Amino acid sequence: MSATVQNLVNQPYKYGFITQIESDTVPRGLSEDTIRLISAKKEEPEFMLEFRLRAYRQWLKMTEPNWQNASYPAIDYQDIIYYSAPKVKEKKKSLEEVDPELLETFEKLGIPLSEQKRLSNVAVDAIFDSVSVATTFKEKLAKDGVIFCSISEAVREYPELVKKYLGSVVPVGDNYFAALNSAVFSDGSFVYIPKDTCCPMELSTYFRINNGDSGQFERTLIIAEAGSSVSYLEGCTAPMYDTNQLHAAVVELVALDNAEIKYSTVQNWYAGDANGKGGIYNFVTKRGLCQGVNSKISWTQVETGSAITWKYPSCVLVGDNSVGEFYSVALTNHYQQADTGTKMVHIGKNTRSTIISKGISAGKSKNSYRGLVKIGPKAQGARNYSQCDSMLIGDNAQANTFPYIQVQNNLGKVEHEASTSKIGEDQLFYFSQRGISAEDAISMMISGFCKDVFNQLPMEFAVEADRLLSLKLEGSVG
C-alpha cells in the first residue's frame, strides 16, 4: 500500500481514556457461586437466578465455536471479571445525583446525560461497565406508557414481562456466547412499547467498558406490542488497554402484529493498536422475532471498532407478510477481523427480507460477510434480496463473502448480488489531479459506498456515522 493510503487509515482512537473511579467488582472467574453473587448483588427474584443457573449448566456442556473466519488466542474464562460497577453510596433518584465523574465521562464521549443538554428527541440509557448509571426522559416516556429502563430494573419492576420474553428469541442454550451471557449478564436496556403506540422519541443506549479486566455481558430486550413502533440506537466505546476484553451481549427483539422495530448500532469499541495488540472481542448474538402478521424488524449497523467482530443480527419472520431488513457497514483496519452478516429465516407466508452489506477493509484486516437466507417449507411467496459489496483500501486487506441460501419450497424468490471495488493509488491520483486531497477523496468514496446504509440511520446518527468513518480513515498525508 502506498504511504499516503497507509497514513490516511492510521487515525488514533479518540475514546481511549480511562475513568478513575472506585469499582465494586466480584473476584475473577466463573462458578455457580459467582452467578449467585451477581444475582444477589442485583437483588433479583428467584426466577432470574434459575434462568442464569440453567444457562450456566448448559454452557458448561458446550464448546467454544471456531468456524468464524478469524483467529485469536484462547480465551481464559476464569481470568475474566464478570461484574464490575462504579461504587455508589446509594441508589440514585435523579440525574443530578449521579457521580459527576461518570457524567463527565459520558460528556467526553459526546453523550451529555443532563436533560438540558440532551440530544433533542433522544432518550439515553448510559451503561458503564456492568451497570446502567442513568436513563434520561423516563417520566416523559412513561406518559405514553413506554417503559425504558435498565434490564436490572425491569427484572425487579416488571418481572412478568421479563419472564415471558427473556430467552424467548435467543434461548439460554442457543450458542456458547449466548449461554455465557444468559448466565452472567449484568445490565442492559429494556424497552416496552404498548399497543398502538408510536414511541415519541428515539431511544438510545450507550455502552462504555472502563475496567481493563472485566468482560461486558449486557442484555437488551425490546418488546413492541401490536400496532406499535420504535427506533432504538446503541453506541459503544472502550478505553485502550493492551489486553483483550470480551464483550458478549445478547439482544432480543419481539414485534407483534403490525409492529415495527428499527434497531441501529454504531459500534466503535477499541480495536487494538496498529500492531493488533489489545482491543475488544465483540461476540454478540442479536435476533429479532417478527412474531405478528405484517410486523417489521430492521437492523442497521455501522461496525468500526473491536479487534474481532463476530455477529449476525437476524430476523425470524414468523408472522405472515412480515419484513426483515439488514443494513450494514463494517469497516476494518490494521489487524481487525470482522465476520458479520445476518440470518433471515422465512417461516410465514409472503415474508420479505432485504440485506444490504458494505464491507470496507484497510490495512491488514480481514472482513467477511456471512449470511444465511432460509425459506422454510410453509413460506410461500417469500422473497429475499441480498446485496454484498466489498471495498478494499490498499493491497493487504482481505474481503470475503459467504452467502448461505436454503430454500425449502418452490414458491420463494431469492436474489443475491455482490461486488468488489478497490481504492487504489490511481483513483487517489485522479482526485488529487483535480485538486482534491487524499483525505477528502477517501471520505467521498466511502460516503458514496455507504450511502444506502447511512440513509437508513436516524438522521442524528447518520451524520455521526459519516463523521466516524471519516475520522477512522483521516490522517496526515505523508
Partner 1 sequence: MISENSEVILSVRDLTAEVEGTPILKGLNLEVKAGEIHAIMGPNGSGKSTFSKVLAGHPAYRVTGGTVLFRGQNLLEWEPDERAKSGVFLAFQYPLEIPGVSNLDFLRVAYNSKRQHEGLEELDAFDFDDLVQQKLDVVKMNPAFLSRSVNEGFSGGEKKRNEILQMALLEPKLGILDETDSGLDIDALRIVAGGVNQLSHANNAIVLITHYQRLLDYIVPDYVHVMEAGRIITTGGKELALELESRGYDWVREEEAAEVAR
Binding site for partner 1 (CB under 8 A): 2, 4, 421, 425-427, 429-438, 440, 444-445, 447-449, 451, 477
Question: Considering the complex, what minimum distance in angstroms separates the CB of residue 436 from partner 1?
Answer: 5
Nearest Cα residue to 472 out of 205, 232, 267, 244:
267
> Among residues 12 and 448, whose Cβ is nearest to partner 1?
448
Angle ∠(324,330,104) on CA atoms, nearest 5? 100
Question: Considering the complex, what minimum distance in angstroms separates the CB of residue 3 from partner 1?
Answer: 8
> Among residues 88 and 436, whose Cβ is nearest to partner 1?
436
Task: Count other Cβ atoms within 10 Å, centred on residue 45.
Answer: 14
Could you give the CA distance from residue 53 to residue 62 in angstroms, rounded to a whole number?
A: 14
Question: Considering the complex, what minimum distance in angstroms separates the CB of residue 2 from partner 1?
Answer: 6
Question: Considering the complex, what minimum distance in angstroms separates the CB of residue 419 from partner 1?
Answer: 8
Question: Considering the complex, what minimum distance in angstroms separates the CB of residue 295 from partner 1?
Answer: 32
CB 470 within 8 A of CB 6: no
Backbone φ/ψ region at 363: left (φ over 0), alpha (ψ -120 to 50), beta: left
> Among residues 60 and 418, whose Cβ is nearest to partner 1?
418
> Among residues 289 and 445, whose Cβ is nearest to partner 1?
445
Which residues on neighbouring strands pair with residue 375, listed in sequence order?
346, 407
Question: What residue spans of 109-254 are helical by DSSP H?
Answer: 138-142, 151-157, 159-165, 176-184
Only one residue has cell 461504587, namely 87
Q: Which set of grid coordinates corresponds to residue 255?
A: 414485534
In Å, what is the CA distance from 355 to each residue of 173, 371, 383, 459, 462? 27, 9, 11, 21, 19
Question: Considering the complex, what minimum distance in angstroms separates the CB of residue 429 from partner 1?
Answer: 6
Question: Considering the complex, what minimum distance in angstroms separates the CB of residue 370 from partner 1?
Answer: 24
Question: Considering the complex, what minimum distance in angstroms separates the CB of residue 276 from partner 1?
Answer: 27
> Among residues 176 and 431, whose Cβ is nearest to partner 1?
431
Question: Considering the complex, what minimum distance in angstroms separates the CB of residue 475 from partner 1?
Answer: 15
Strands 84-86 vs 23-25: parallel, antiparallel or unpaired? antiparallel
Could you give the CA distance from residue 437 to residue 33 in angstroms, rounded to a whole number?
A: 58
CB 423 within 8 A of CB 399: no
Question: Considering the complex, what minimum distance in angstroms separates the CB of residue 463 from partner 1?
Answer: 17
Nearest Cα residue to 179 out of 342, 314, 30, 42:
30
> Among residues 195 and 451, whose Cβ is nearest to partner 1?
451
Question: Considering the complex, what minimum distance in angstroms separates the CB of residue 432 from partner 1?
Answer: 4
Counts for the chain of helices (H) and strands (E), in that order = 11, 23
CB 34 within 8 A of CB 82: yes
> Cα 249 from chain centroid?
8
* 41 burial type by CB count under 10 A (0-12 exposed, 13-18 middle, 19+ buried): middle
> Among residues 387 and 427, whose Cβ is nearest to partner 1?
427
> Among residues 354 and 447, whose Cβ is nearest to partner 1?
447
> Among residues 11 and 447, whose Cβ is nearest to partner 1?
447
User: Residue 390: which H helix or E strand, with range?
Assistant: strand 383-393
In order, the DSSP letters of 57-75 are HHHHH------SS---PPP
> Among residues 22 and 426, whose Cβ is nearest to partner 1?
426
Could you give the CA distance from residue 23 to residue 101 in angstroms, rounded to a whole number?
A: 13
> Among residues 410 and 433, whose Cβ is nearest to partner 1?
433
